[in-house]
Structure 1
Amino acid sequence: MATSGDSAPDFTAPLANGDIESFTLSERLEDDAPIVLAFFPGSFTGVCTDEMCTFQDRLANFNDLDATVYGISRDTPFTLNEFRDQNGLEFGLISDLNKEIIDEYDLEMDFDDLGVYGVAKRSVFVVDGDGEITYAWVSDDPGVEPDYDEVEDAVEAAA
């Protein structure tokens, strides 16, 4: 599992930002770092919606620290754009439809009782301009949200 001190696994995936474009982590580090990667199991679910809306509510704080927030889930980029629109999210959401990023970060979680497999564990990583993970939080409980103050503190330390 990716953890603090590791080099962040690089990836290229679709970015839903009102449009759809290609996103490569290593190419975004120079301009966007520190980068917050907030993995969530799925759009339009209670806790995931609360989490992404809380990041939106705190977006000005991250912007003040020159940090960039991205959400990541297995949803299609089209679903993610609709999720952004319905919740007024101003940050990009990355589609990991093929589960490649989840595998690289070792974050796979299943909901056996629902027949849902291979979604992301709720987790947050802060990546600095050198591509190092300076903060890692991973929850095995999908109902637990991150400590947002702790994430902001980690971003401030990485800035």
Structure 2
Amino acid sequence: MTTRLEAGALAPDFTAPTDTGTFTLSDHRGRNVIVYFYPAAMTPGCTTQACDFRDSLAALQAAGYEVVGVSKDSPEKLAKFREKEGLNFTLVSDPDLEVQNLYGAWGEKSMYGKTVEGSLRSTVVVDPDGKVALAQYNVKATGHVAKLRRDLGLD
């Protein structure tokens, strides 16, 4: 089981491929970055969550936040997901699970009554200094963005 991050910890830096190039977290110092982890593009829960971020992006950006979604999907699948759902934020490909392991977003979970290893739906907010401002694990797909906005004092 990977270690979960806590508020105040230095957020692990990473560089990973996206559907449009590469993303390096440290390139975004000076800004708040919401890094959210989801199991798989184009599945019902992940689509709901991604569309919630899409629909809230303008308000999040106005409040000084960027959004980055991370999954083990290939850049090609992420490009299809972006196009199909009109997603307007960065999608990171993490097929080797390096980023998910660094952030404590991979581990055991219960699925249909069985214990399996997989992506833990998680959100880590990184502050402008590169530190964890908020870390939430095993979040619900539906309603998560609204809860996150409340937790960040944006509503």
Query: Normalization by structure 2: what TM-score?
Result: 0.85
SS at match of 1:54: helix
Q: Is 1:102 aligned to residue 94 of structure 2?
A: no
Aligned counterpart in structure 2 of residue 147 of structure 1, from 139, 144, 148: 144
In 2, the alpha carbon distance for the partners of 1:35 and 1:156 equals 15
Structure 1 residues 152 and 41: alpha-carbon distance in aligned structure 2, compared to 1, 3 A threshold: same
In 2, the alpha carbon distance for the partners of 1:22 and 1:52 equals 19
Aligned to 2:87: 89
Q: Where in structure 2 are there 5+ consecutive unaligned residues? A: none
User: CA shift at 1:118, angstroms?
Assistant: 5.1
* Higher percent of residues as helix: 1
SS at match of 2:73: coil
Aligned to 1:60: 58
Aligned residues: 148
Aligned to 1:138: 137
Aligned to 2:127: 128
Matched-pair contact (CA < 8 Å) for 1:13–1:95: yes
User: CA shift at 1:94, angstroms?
Assistant: 0.5
Identity within the alignment, %: 31
Q: Is 1:44 aligned to residue 42 of structure 2?
A: yes
SS at match of 2:96: coil
Question: In the TM superposition, what whole-angstrom CA distance separates every residue of 1:31-76 from its partner, at most 9, and x where no partner exists?
Answer: xx20000100111111010000011111111111121101100001
Query: Normalization by structure 1: what TM-score?
Result: 0.83
Structure 1 residues 80 and 119: alpha-carbon distance in aligned structure 2, compared to 1, 3 A threshold: farther
SS at match of 2:5: coil
In 2, the alpha carbon distance for the partners of 1:112 and 1:54 equals 24
Q: Is 1:8 aligned to residue 11 of structure 2?
A: yes
User: CA shift at 1:23, angstroms?
Assistant: 1.2
